[in-house]
Structure 1
Amino acid sequence: MSTGMSTPGLVISAPASGTGKTTLMLGLLRAFSQQGLAVQPFKSGPDYIDPAFHRAASGRPSVNLDSWAMSRGMIADQISAGQDADLVLAEGSMGLFDGVAVTGESGNGASADISEMTGWPVVLVVDVSGQAQSAAAVAKGFATYNPNVTLAGVVLNRVASPRHEALTRVGMDAMGIEVLGALPRVKSIEMPERHLGLVQAQEQDGLDAILTEAAKFVSEHVDLERLRAAAQPSQPISSPSQNGTVLDMTPPGQRIALAQDDAFSFVYPHLLQGWRAAGAEILPFSPLANQAPDTSADVCWLPGGYPELHAGKIAAADKFRTGLQVFAQTRPVHGECGGYMAMGAALIDKDGTRHQMAGLLGLVTSYAKRKMHLGYRQATLTHPLPGFEAQSHLRGHEFHYSTILEQPDAPLACVRDATGTEVPETGSVRGHASGTFFHLITKATTS
């Protein structure tokens, strides 16, 4: 049983994607931080992109909370990251109640699960473009859809004029819904639309200025005091056992050579935290700097990222490639998504150019014909994986646009989506080398 957490929290959510919740979230993080508050960000769901910006805006690492993949005990452990903060802000994903059709470890992945589990009220960002009083009907529906989810109030977004705001407020007042702010329609605050990883977000030219401007924009149009006053401490999270908590994350080795640079940056913070908590040592190296994994390491781990943006540089990194090949002769090497592709025979970029990869596996992938692969994954290992025995049940998430042209090696696992339907991206294994297209979140507490 978790004892809860005294730090007050809020969930920043919306009826749908693309309504402006990330802009509000980043503006709030930076604005409250400028006031001298320690603000702990969280992200609902298996997202790498938003947490990168959260960290840049708040100065604190953002933590993923995933009700489909994580047990209640693990979520309770994750939430403890905010125990020394003044305020918790958790950004939702998609619409507030959107999740998969089948319940996972402790929910279906919806942001509402996190609100219900923690007791953090929801600040709903409502895009009022093309409507006025009617927006209140939407907000009222969200306020009453689940009686265990509390709506703190709404922030109106993309308000066209003072008259538009006044009419919209009339509808909200009639429904008894508090308006915490109204953001006028502007384009200067929108975040850069390109895929950015954990390192890239912090190094993005002009990002700090954008975040500062977002804080100014939000501060001028949102009542920060009222919003903060609506936050509530986390309620105790009951858990039948502590299986699947961060402290139970088995590291893949005692000394882990971890690829970390602009091409390989996608690794969940809770994995690194769990590995370190179990006593493992992490030894970072940069393939883009033509560095080989530390020869004293027990295992090498290549996270996901954007190898397709750096394929030429990876192909030219002869010391990295040779070092990885030598390492794999005697010790395990595992890659996730981008790391998996870099372990293959070749990667074909969007222009059709073929780049030589490490050749530990026969995998050939292509971005010449983009196809989105997106969703939760549940895998039953047919071969051992560093840190996991064969027949282990793992939960993860897959998101990439590459197409498999060749995959001649043995499949690593039987992989299914959240509904139990098999997917062809099984991962593969050859000798000490293995890889998956899904990013590991946790070991499932049940099969």
Structure 2
Amino acid sequence: MHLPRILIAAPASGGGKTTVATGLMAALRASGRTVAPFKVGPDYIDPGYHSMASGRPGRNLDSVMCGEELMAPLLAHGFLTPDPADVAVIEGVMGLFDGQLGTGRGSSAEIATTTRTPVVVVVDTAHASLTHAAVVAGLATFDPSVTIAGAILNRVASPRHGAEIVRGLDRLGIPVLGQIPRTESIFVPSRHLGLVPAGEWEDSAAKVASLGDLIAEHVDLDAVMELARSAPDLDAEPWNPRTALESAGWQAQSFDEPPMVGIFAGRAFTFRYPETTEMLQAAGFRVVDVDPLTDRRLPDGIRGLYLGGGFPQMHATDLEDNTELAADVRAHAAAGMPIVAECAGLLYLCRHLDGHDMSGVLPMDAAMAKRLTMGYRVATRDSISVVGHEFHRTMTTPLADIDPAWHIAMPDGSDRAEGALADPAGLGRPTVQASYLHLHWAGQPSQAVWFAREVARRHEAADDHASEPDLNHHGDSDIAEGLVDLAVNVRVPEPPQWLREAITSTEHDWARYPDATPARNALAAMYDVRPDSVLPTAGAAEAFPLIATTQPRHAVVVHPQFTEPEAALRAAGIDVDRVILKASDGFALDPGLVPEDADLVIVGNPTNPTGRLHPAADLLALRRPGRILVVDEAFMDATDESQSLIGSDMDDLLVLRSLTKTYGLAGIRAGYLVGDRRLVSRLAARQTPWSVSTPAIAAMVACTGQQAARFRDQLRDELPAARADLVGRLRELGLHVVESEAPFVLVDTSSISGDSVRQPLADRGFAVRRGETFPGLGPTWIRLAVRDPETHAALSQAICDLVARPPKEN
């Protein structure tokens, strides 16, 4: 194919190669030509300026990462994509012959030879005159396979200065295409890793335009084009992303809707190879940008996330402030969404970066280092071998055991563990691959295929379970700075004074290992049961993994309810059947819905999030010989205690209680279970030693006393009026509220929205618990904690604003 092209090279770095190449691209484009821009080597920054100058994706020609055989095909592909160009301008790297030490691989000369591209040498004319012609003569004769077809003189001091150099180059038969005078007007700022990326510099577009004007004034563009057209025809088949995927084993798939893959973008994440996006699109995916500086959540329906390069350390404060997106990324990772992160992406997945909070997907910290790490790397994992590039001045520190993403070969024959390969969802296979290593997927198509397969698998699972909730989601994930908390059911902002005093009075005992016996005895006395029927726990949630150790053959969870029990069972490798109660029946329990062979049944009472209080008789109807019945009564002390199943007959029965909600003890983690003495003994034997802290033990004892009883009674007495106030306001807005006596309400918002109102309400200052995180509920359901009338009124106004209609009088 006929492909006009030139390669801009130089005797050494720092002579204006990027200035001339970028300006030439801009000038040719301004003259009406379509320019295909390229950069030799792995550099991400220069292609950003090339893209701005040409209006097309800046591409890389890297024979080390992609192989010499792909250079001409990638050049042809970039020339033709998105539409045929008039000329390709390739910026070289370092000095013309500089590449890998010992081999010269990846040099500008190698790319020029491989692609049979004529070279234009940029001569930095400072500090000499005729001698520069001798330097160019050396370049022209060093390797006969490299064609030096022209020169552009840079930083020319005067016409006489330029003429002397031209006189020398005329003797070589090398034409001078332009002479650029010394000027201070062209300036691109730099920092610790080179030039500031174009996407981060506000003046970059104006400076690129100025470069174009400078080159147009001092370089003969017609002569440049004539030289480019003199390049011999390129005997190469253009690289094809679909073919590249198929070469690595990808089989084209048919999707009803293209799976969505997000790619981090914006000022903090400016680096990616265009071929990465093209391979994802060739796999049948829809690729969207996500800006972590501005986007507060991942797009709905996202199936995979690619975090490329950039400088998050320069934007660490803004990234830290975006807690909503960080929590969303963490939640998606925990739910099994595949993530590939390179360099900057690795930093974002860490817990901290230079002390700033990041997303916390990986148990690692990152910080700036004294030394720059740079160079090509051969990396392996199992039977996989790749070639990538490192370029960073940060380092990571693992905070827990984690499998490395790669083992990088070192000069002394050893290898270095690099990055992380993680399985946050516990799927039994890694779904997160993060490291400092930048990979060019055109040269490593197996990596693109790995990610594509995981995305397709995630998409298929979502199609199979379109309403499948995130069982690990909790209300505190919906809270963010500045939002009124209606998402968490803790009923008081802090523990009462008498309880704080009881807890802090134990401070002199904190150096001793805790003994839960006083808590067990006090709780047993309060319920008039034997002490060996009670097991204090680190919050009621600790009991669910303990219950999973009973290894049931057929476990059933009655939903909608708190998802922690099912999550604990599944984490233990236990299959779970769901009994879904219907909203049309008021979420009433029908004992006949539970399979007869179920040997473990878990149900909440009153149930979170529905608030439904099941009659004790209906729950007792679930008892069967050989079946363990678990009733979560975390909110029972807010309603009718007469329906509690704690009593003298507790064979094969376990009842869970929590002190968290009523007494404001989320940070203390205080709960307990009461039940069958044989079961309690089995669970106690499996409990982690000293899991219940001394402050929690003191809290349990204190909450069995008279002050606690008066405190509970007061909250119970105040609740009906506060609840009625909230329910009344919501119903006046036309919303359906589930009947209950719980300290929270479940609301169906389908009358005002066909989708979740969680984010719109967050945008108006309110955090609510999303209904779609509970099995059996959809995105139009939200759960709201009962608060005070002022908060309820403000929420009502926010909902009115949401539906653009005035509030009714209350």
Shift of 1:362: 1.9
Equivalents in 1 of 2:249, 2:323: separation in Å?
A: 32
Whichever residue aligns with residue 77 of structure 1, its letter is P
Is the aligned partner of 1:414 residue 2:407? yes
Alignment of structure 1 residues 363-378 onto 2, 5 Å: 363-367=364-368, 369-378=369-378
Answer yes or no: is the 8 Å Cα contact 2:245–2:283 preserved in 1.
no
Where structure 1 has 5 or more consecutive residues not aligned to the other structure, the ranges are 349-353, 383-390
Shift of 1:196: 9.9
Which residue number corresponds to residue 363 of structure 2? 362
Equivalents in 1 of 2:10, 2:224: separation in Å?
A: 16
Look up the SS of the partner of 2:98 in the other structure.
coil
Is the aligned partner of 1:139 residue 2:167? no
Answer yes or no: is the 8 Å Cα contact 1:288–1:317 preserved in 2.
yes
Look up the SS of the partner of 1:40 in the other structure.
strand
Which residue number corresponds to residue 385 of structure 1? none
Whichever residue aligns with residue 179 of structure 2, its letter is A
Which residue number corresponds to residue 440 of structure 1? 439
Alignment of structure 1 residues 104-119 onto 2, 5 Å: 108-119=105-116
Answer yes or no: is the 8 Å Cα contact 2:152–2:177 preserved in 1.
yes
Shift of 1:199: 11
- How far does the alpha carbon of each residue in 1:310-347 deviate from its partner, in whole angstroms, 9 at most, with x for none? 11222222221221121112322231111101111211
Shift of 1:261: 2.1
Answer yes or no: is the 8 Å Cα contact 1:295–1:327 preserved in 2.
no
Answer yes or no: is the 8 Å Cα contact 2:179–2:218 preserved in 1.
yes
Segment of structure 1 superposing worse, 408-417 or 430-439: 408-417
1:36 to 14, 24, 32: 32
Alignment of structure 1 residues 223-234 onto 2, 5 Å: 223-231=220-228, 232-234=231-233
Is the aligned partner of 1:303 residue 2:308? yes
Answer yes or no: is the 8 Å Cα contact 2:71–2:114 preserved in 1.
no
Shift of 1:250: 7.8
Look up the SS of the partner of 2:38 in the other structure.
strand
Whichever residue aligns with residue 118 of structure 1, its letter is T
Task: Give the TM-score normalised by structure 2.
Answer: 0.49
Look up the SS of the partner of 1:440 in the other structure.
coil
Q: 1:420 to 1:61 in 2, by over 3 A?
A: farther
Equivalents in 2 of 1:120, 1:346: separation in Å?
A: 46
Answer yes or no: is the 8 Å Cα contact 1:393–1:444 preserved in 2.
no
Shift of 1:433: 3.0
Which residue number corresponds to residue 18 of structure 2? 22
- How far does the alpha carbon of each residue in 1:266-298 deviate from its partner, in whole angstroms, 9 at most, with x for none? 111111111212222223322222433345333
Larger radius of gyration: 2
Equivalents in 2 of 1:222, 1:420: separation in Å?
A: 49
Which residue number corresponds to residue 393 of structure 2? 401
Alignment of structure 1 residues 254-269 onto 2, 5 Å: 254-269=259-274
Which residue number corresponds to residue 347 of structure 1? 353
Whichever residue aligns with residue 21 of structure 2, its letter is M
Shift of 1:75: 2.7
Shift of 1:102: 5.9
Q: 1:257 to 1:248 in 2, by over 3 A?
A: farther
Answer yes or no: is the 8 Å Cα contact 1:321–1:357 preserved in 2.
yes
2:164 to 167, 175, 181: 167
Task: Give the TM-score normalised by structure 1.
Answer: 0.86
Equivalents in 2 of 1:197, 1:279: separation in Å?
A: 36
- How far does the alpha carbon of each residue in 1:104-143 deviate from its partner, in whole angstroms, 9 at most, with x for none? xxx8111112211111100000112111111111101111
Shift of 1:307: 0.9
Which residue number corresponds to residue 98 of structure 2? 98
Alignment of structure 1 residues 277-288 onto 2, 5 Å: 277-288=282-293
Answer yes or no: is the 8 Å Cα contact 1:250–1:274 preserved in 2.
no
- How far does the alpha carbon of each residue in 1:391-432 deviate from its partner, in whole angstroms, 9 at most, with x for none? 322222111111334464221211237x79666461112324
Answer yes or no: is the 8 Å Cα contact 1:15–1:126 preserved in 2.
yes
Look up the SS of the partner of 1:374 in the other structure.
strand
Answer yes or no: is the 8 Å Cα contact 1:100–1:109 preserved in 2.
yes
Q: 1:283 to 1:185 in 2, by over 3 A?
A: closer
Is the aligned partner of 1:276 residue 2:281? yes
Equivalents in 2 of 1:164, 1:22: separation in Å?
A: 23
Answer yes or no: is the 8 Å Cα contact 1:45–1:64 preserved in 2.
yes
Greater helix fraction, Structure 1 or Structure 2: 2
Shift of 1:230: 1.0
Alignment of structure 1 residues 180-219 onto 2, 5 Å: 180-194=177-191, 201=198, 204-219=201-216
Which residue number corresponds to residue 235 of structure 1? 234
Answer yes or no: is the 8 Å Cα contact 1:337–1:400 preserved in 2.
yes
Structure scoring higher RCO (CA < 8 A, sep ≥ 6) equals 1
Greater strand fraction, Structure 1 or Structure 2: 1
Q: 1:234 to 1:71 in 2, by over 3 A?
A: farther
Whichever residue aligns with residue 82 of structure 1, its letter is F
Q: 1:31 to 1:211 in 2, by over 3 A?
A: same
Which residue number corresponds to residue 86 of structure 1? 86
Segment of structure 1 superposing worse, 74-83 or 197-206: 197-206
Q: 1:421 to 1:31 in 2, by over 3 A?
A: farther
Shift of 1:56: 1.0
Equivalents in 2 of 1:422, 1:293: separation in Å?
A: 40
Equivalents in 2 of 1:434, 1:445: separation in Å?
A: 15
Look up the SS of the partner of 2:150 in the other structure.
strand
Whichever residue aligns with residue 394 of structure 1, its letter is V
Shift of 1:198: 12
1:6 to 2, 14, 18: 2
Q: 1:423 to 1:53 in 2, by over 3 A?
A: farther
Segment of structure 1 superposing worse, 6-15 or 392-401: 392-401
Q: 1:205 to 1:288 in 2, by over 3 A?
A: closer
Equivalents in 1 of 2:279, 2:371: separation in Å?
A: 33
How many residue pairs match? The answer is 422
RMSD across aligned positions (CA): 3.0
Q: 1:175 to 1:192 in 2, by over 3 A?
A: same
Equivalents in 2 of 1:420, 1:69: separation in Å?
A: 22
Where structure 2 has 5 or more consecutive residues not aligned to the other structure, the ranges are 251-257, 424-430, 447-810
Whichever residue aligns with residue 30 of structure 1, its letter is A
Q: 1:114 to 1:308 in 2, by over 3 A?
A: same
Q: 1:198 to 1:81 in 2, by over 3 A?
A: farther
Equivalents in 1 of 2:143, 2:399: separation in Å?
A: 45
Is the aligned partner of 1:334 residue 2:356? no
- How far does the alpha carbon of each residue in 1:128-164 deviate from its partner, in whole angstroms, 9 at most, with x for none? 2111111111101111111111111111112112221
Q: 1:338 to 1:32 in 2, by over 3 A?
A: same
Q: 1:261 to 1:216 in 2, by over 3 A?
A: closer
Equivalents in 1 of 2:413, 2:158: separation in Å?
A: 48
Answer yes or no: is the 8 Å Cα contact 1:13–1:96 preserved in 2.
yes
1:60 to 56, 61, 83: 56
Shift of 1:90: 0.5
Equivalents in 1 of 2:60, 2:248: separation in Å?
A: 15
